[in-house]
Amino acid sequence: MIIQAVASLLAAVAQAATPAPVPCSDEAYSDFDFWVGVWDVYSGDQLAGRNVITKEESGCLVLETWTSARGSTGQSYNYYDPAKDKWRQVWVSAGIFIDYEGGLDDQGRMVLEGTITSNTDGKVAPFRGQWAPLDDGTVQQTFWTYDAEADSWNIWFDGNYRRAE
């Protein structure tokens, strides 16, 4: 009886001393960290807007909060799905929804593929996005939509992220 009580007590102490695993701490959860920051986004020489990218929920979520130079806004939730071994982004704005997934390519670029949906007419098209960290500390972001009639991918947006001062 005493031996059983001591064994139970020792087991409880050992369990309490073992730290709980830290959620979202595997290396894959850091794949998109190069995008985290406050950015001024340029399309050519034109300021397109400001994007604030933060890590939330104990590092499990990369939250994007966009404000265009004209005042429109949008947000995305970006997360690593360990069951699929893929990153996923869901973007929502007053004009469009984007839902796509993918991961880092062999050059360290985040590449996602899925669909873009118009909120006004419900049209859906294949969509691709790429975020490329550059040697000068900027990030090049390029989006493409697929034109089924022409059987071609066309640039939808091409922007350069520069850290805001």
Asked if pLDDT for residue 36 goes beyond 90, the answer is yes
pTM score of the predicted model: 0.86
User: Where is pLDDT greater, at 23 or 4?
Assistant: 23
pLDDT at residue number 15: 64
> How many whole angstroms separate alpha carbon 33 and alpha carbon 78?
11
In this predicted model, what pLDDT tens digit does every residue of 51-79 receive, in sequence order?
999 999 999 999 999 999 999 999 999 99
User: Is residue 111 a contact partner of residue 129, using CB atoms and an 8 Å limit?
Assistant: yes
* pLDDT value at residue 21: 72
Using CA atoms, how far apart are residues 65 and 25, in angstroms rounded to an integer? 23
Q: How many CB atoms lie within 10 A of CB 43?
A: 14
Among residues 56, 94, 59, 49, the alpha carbon closest in space to that of 75 is found at: 94
- The DSSP annotation for 92-125 comes to EESSEEEEEEEEE-TTS-EEEEEEEEETTT--EE
Q: How far apart are CA 154 and CA 69, in angstroms?
A: 23
Percent of the chain past pLDDT 70, that is, above it, reads: 89
Across residues 108-136, what is the average pLDDT? 97
